[in-house]
Structure 1
Amino acid sequence: MGKYNYTDREKDFNKVLKMNQNESFSLEKQCSSRIYKLDEHINSSEALLKSLGYALPNKSVIKKEQKLSSKIQEIKSYDDLVKKANAEIHNDVELEDLLSEKEFQEAYKRLDAIHDEFSHKTGIVNKTDLIFLGIATALQTVKSLLFGRVAGKFDYGNSFNPDARLAHNDKSIEKEHRRANDGFKEKHENNGHGYWMYILYQTPPYDITKGSPSINRNMEGGYHRIHTLGHDPILGWIFGTANILTDTITFEDFKSNRVIRNPKMMITPESVPLAKLFGESFEMCKADSLNLPAAIFAEGCHLKSDEFTKLGLPVPILEAINTDFASKLYKSNYDALCFSRDLKIIGASAGISIFIDMIIGLVHGLFNKEKINKDLYEVRTRKILLISNSIASTSNIIQTLITDNPKNLDIGGLLVSLSHLFMDLRFISRIKEEFIKQELNKDLIKELERLDSI
């Protein structure tokens, strides 16, 4: 067993090479045997001519036209060639069966030479590239180091002030909620009365906590929003809508229970599997075409009414991933609005990093004075961007650790650096692979031309 692993296609290719090698050796033996016999006849003929006193002609002035004619079996496609090779060669063929140790060493030397040539053509060693690298690094580093100070002016990472929010039962919220419901009802009441009207005005089932002790759930009273997926700003559009349609409540661990409204509204021990939850939701949608629009509208109104209250809404999806951390954030007055604000700041930071990269990349592209291959020159550009972003992000991480202030961490710039790390390295690897193939193809063409000349 050799040191290389082969795909099925490569195994077939090795067999084709081995078959051609065997045929070449066979042809060489036949030619050598015939040439030896011809030399014997020529030598005996020359000896006979000399014994008869004839002078031999000068071989250098004899014009000869040699023709090698043989019947060659035409193979129409590579697949036919593979079939022929598999028919003749039954065992797997490895490179060690085709090449000698000396040939291996020569191949490795040629590969190293191609690697060196690629590095030379794409290396950041000339004055122009180094200047661009310095400028890009300076811009990205200054931007990342100033991030904490600038972002702090926009309350980045800060919690909200509950005193600036409304109570969950504030009259203005209830009034706006009812006004929205009445508007939906007036718009669709021509379609007839149905269960969808109850959906609009009744309390959402995931807004109740009574009965939770009987199922061993601690919903923490006013903090129940962190424990119900109906209050999640993203997941709520799926699970909250389904809960409204089916009178169920889905908790942060994706388990659901039935909710009853009479004689009083409470959570029951009846478990509702997810498959049953969505199955019942589908049946409710089929029962009346307005049930689903009404449920979605009710979910949206409820999220909107809770959004600006003293407790707000939890950070999206986090409660389903890490309930303890989500609860800690929520109880420290860091809610979905705070998260949305910080996301915008992170997005703006990432946008600035991308803008700097775009300017550096575009201007650097204008300095291709050597007129080298476009892809090879782009490799140099991407190396500049990759190195500059990596240095900037590293500096920002060090600054964050020294100051022990996580708010200084430029997450947007870090994400851009990570994208460069994955995308640029993949691009460079692809261009390098193509370059190696092109150089090997050049070698193959030269060898074929040499054979044609012979």
Structure 2
Amino acid sequence: MSSENLRKKRNLIIEKIDNNLSEMNDIYEETNRVKTVAENTRVILDDLDKQFCEKTGLNSEEVALMFFAVGLQIARQYLLTKFPKRLSDKEAAKKVKGKKEEHSNRKHRYYNPSLEEIASNPVPFDANIGSNGNLKGGGKMGHRVTTLGHDPILGLIFGTANIATSTLTTSSFLSFHIYTENKRDYFKSKASTYKVLEATVNKTLYQGIEGKKIIATSFIKEIIHLQSDMYTKNSLPIPFISAMNPKLASKLAERGLDMANILTVSKQVEYAIFINTIIAMLHSLFYDGNTEMEEKLHEVKTRKIIAYSDMIASASNLGVVAFTKNLNLLDIGGITVAILDFIKYKEFQKKVKEEFIFGSYKDMVMGDKYNMIDIQ
């Protein structure tokens, strides 16, 4: 072997040794770095927790947006979605139907009243004279839970059919012909519920334009009647319950679970959610990040604005109700939305916080140089 080859081999060995020593030094330094990170875990996690709070804190513009949301919710509570004043049956009918008066003058044609008769007579399922106990069991709600024409959903079918055939169908699905005597509506005789529905279908499909006019007029009359009864003192029962148990429907109404209150609370929920959606859309205009984590941090702030504004508005509402002792001002739907939004906000915040803190800590352990904290 020549001296030149020996020299090359020696240099190669020296180079490998240098590389090994360099790698060992890197491993040593990396071990020390990981050791330092591990020894300072509590400090690092506390610092990352602080960073998360800073990144999800609200700036002055976002605080202004939050109080704008509070203002919108409070305006909604008292201008758009408070519980309406309950009226008497006569007051409600006059408000909905205007000055048009209805008089009972039925001609007693079984299942086949004329269009004029339908338009001028009151709905047949308000009759109660001569019922012989067929409307009993309604409790406080009376005939509104023992006749299907007053069910907010079933009434669209049975109430329309009753008007179109001058009949009344009870919650037990028994039907009766209604006739006029001394300008008042009476139970005359039993009718067939099947024939009530059959006659209604026949008028719709086989009696030409006149039959369709009768059904359309009956349907509109049913809608108007439900509307006029909705915000009376007894209101209307919850859909379907009266068909199964009239007494239960009446007891629920006594405890405030009637159709008027359900509609009002639903309206409160819908309007509160609509305002929150608008606020979320406005806050999205503030976003200027690029990464997925930045987007999640921004969403935490969005949810915070919505949750806090809802809670402030709800607390204000409870204060007003307590001071005025006026339960008609109570924002049940809005308070429900506020509670649910706050729970969802805390759950989402916890999830993103864990992802931010432990994700950042993992990156530090794995060696990514984020320079998040100076470790002494």
Q: Distance in 1 between matches of 2:352 and 2:266?
A: 35
What secondary structure is seen at the aligned counterpart in 1 of 2:219? helix
* Contact 2:124 2:162 (C-alpha < 8 Å) held by counterparts: yes
Larger relative contact order (C-alpha < 8 A, sep ≥ 6)?
2
Q: What is the Cα deviation at residue 259 of structure 1?
A: 1.9
Find the counterpart in structure 1 of residue 175 from structure 2.
Answer: 258
Please give the residue correspondences for 1:326-341 in structure 2 after superposition, counting only pairs within 5 Å: 326=253
Match of 1:421 among 333, 339, 342: 342
Change (3 A) 1:136 1:407: farther
Task: Tell me the amino acid that sits aligned with residue 265 of structure 1.
Answer: F
Separation in 2, partners of 1:124, 1:298:
64
Residues 134-192 of structure 1: CA deviation (Å, up to 9, x unaligned) = 434544455556666x539x9953233745854999993449xx9xxxxxxxxxxxxxx
| Shift in CA distance, 205/158, structure 1 to aligned 2, threshold 3 Å | closer
**What is the DSSP-based 3-state SS (H/G/I as helix, E as strand, rest coil) of the residue aligned with 2:128?**
coil
What is the CA distance between 1:379 and its match in structure 2? Answer: 1.6
Shift of 1:299: 3.2
| Residues in 2 aligned to 1:221 and 1:266: alpha-carbon distance in whole angstroms | 25
Q: State the distance in 1 between where 2:267 and 2:225 align.
A: 22
Distance 1:444 1:155 in 2: 56
Q: 1:63, 1:392 → 2: CA distance?
A: 72
Unmatched 5+ stretches in structure 1: 1-56, 65-108, 179-194, 447-454
Residues 1:129 and 2:55 are matched in the alignment:
no
Q: CA deviation at 1:370?
A: 10
Shift of 1:218: 5.5
Instruction: Give CA deviations for 1:21-68 in whole Å, capped at 9, x if unaligned.
Output: xxxxxxxxxxxxxxxxxxxxxxxxxxxxxxxxxxxx9x965979xxxx
Q: How far apart are the structure 2 equivalents of 1:429 and 1:124?
A: 15
Cα distance, 1:238 vs structure 2: 3.6
Q: Contact 1:396/1:409 (CA < 8 Å) preserved in 2?
A: yes
Whether the aligned pair in 2 keeps the contact of 1:114 and 1:439 (CA below 8 Å) is no
Distance change (3 Å), C-alpha of 1:114 and 1:61: closer
Q: Which has the higher Rg, Structure 1 or Structure 2?
A: 1
Hey, what does 2:300 align to over in structure 1? 379
Cα distance, 1:363 vs structure 2: 5.0
Q: Identity percentage over the alignment? A: 21
Give the match for residue 35 of structure 2.
none
Shifted more, 320-329 versus 389-398: the winner is: 320-329
Closer, same or farther: CA 358–407 of 1 in aligned 2, 3 Å? farther
Corresponding residue number in structure 1 for 2:318? 397
**Structure 2: any 5+ residue segments left out of the alignment?**
1-9, 18-38, 181-185, 242-247, 368-376
1:300 paired with 2:226, answer no
User: Which residue does the alignment assign to 2:29?
Assistant: none
TM-score by length of 1: 0.46
1 CA distance for matches of 2:279 and 2:126? 47
Say if 2:144 and 2:237, in contact at 8 Å, map to a contact too. Answer: no
Distance 2:309 2:230 in 1: 44
State the alpha-carbon separation in 1 of the partners of residues 142 and 46 from structure 2: 63
Find 1:172's aligned residue among 95, 100, 107: 100
Deviations 1:385-434 (A, max 9, x none): 22232233223223323432223333464354245235545654665677
TM-superposed deviation, 1:133: 5.7
Distance in structure 2 (CA, Å) of the matches to 1:414 and 1:228: 35
User: Using the alignment, how far apart are the partners of 1:170 and 1:133 within structure 2?
Assistant: 49
What is the CA–CA distance in structure 2 between the aligned matches of 1:167 and 1:384, rounded to whole Å?
A: 41
Distance 2:158 2:233 in 1: 15
Does the alignment pair 1:228 with 2:147?
yes
1:331-370 aligned at under 5 Å gives the runs: 351-352=274-275, 354-356=277-279, 358-359=281-282, 361-362=283-284, 364-365=286-287
> Is 1:388–2:309 an aligned residue pair?
yes
Q: Compared with structure 1, are the counterparts of its residues 324 and 269 closer, same or farther at alpha carbon in structure 2 (3 Å cutoff)?
A: farther
Distance 1:285 1:206, change over 3 A: same
**SS of residue in 1 equivalent to 2:205:** coil
What letter corresponds to residue 157 of structure 1 in structure 2? Answer: P
1:222-245 CA-to-partner distances (Å, cap 9, x unmatched) read 963454331244442144246568
* 1:79-98: CA deviation from partner (whole Å, max 9, x where unpaired): xxxxxxxxxxxxxxxxxxxx
1:237 equivalenced with 2:237 (yes/no): no
- Is the contact between residue 228 and residue 250 of structure 1 (CA under 8 Å) also seen in structure 2? yes
Whole-angstrom CA distance in 2 between matches of 1:339 and 1:290: 39
The answer to whether the 8 A contact 2:317-2:331 is kept is yes
Question: Structure 1 residues 243 and 223 mapped into 2: Cα distance closer, same or farther (>3 Å)?
Answer: same
**Cα distance in structure 2, aligned partners of 1:373 and 1:283:** 65
| 1:29 match | none
1:160 aligned residue: 87
Provide the secondary structure at the position in 2 that maps to 1:172.
Answer: coil
Q: Give the Å deviation of 1:316.
A: 4.8
CA contact (8 A) 1:206 1:240 kept: yes
Please, which of 321, 324, 329 is the counterpart of residue 408 of structure 1? 329
Whole-angstrom distance in 2 between the partners of 1:226 and 1:298: 20
- Does structure 2 retain, via aligned residues, the 8 Å contact 1:375–1:431? yes
Specify the alignment match of 1:209 in structure 2: 128
Q: Is this contact kept in 1: 2:317–2:330, CA < 8 A?
A: yes
Query: Which residues of 2 match residues 21-60 of structure 1 at below 5 A?
Result: none
Match status 1:151 vs 2:79: yes
**Mapped partners of 1:146, 1:172: distance in 2:** 36
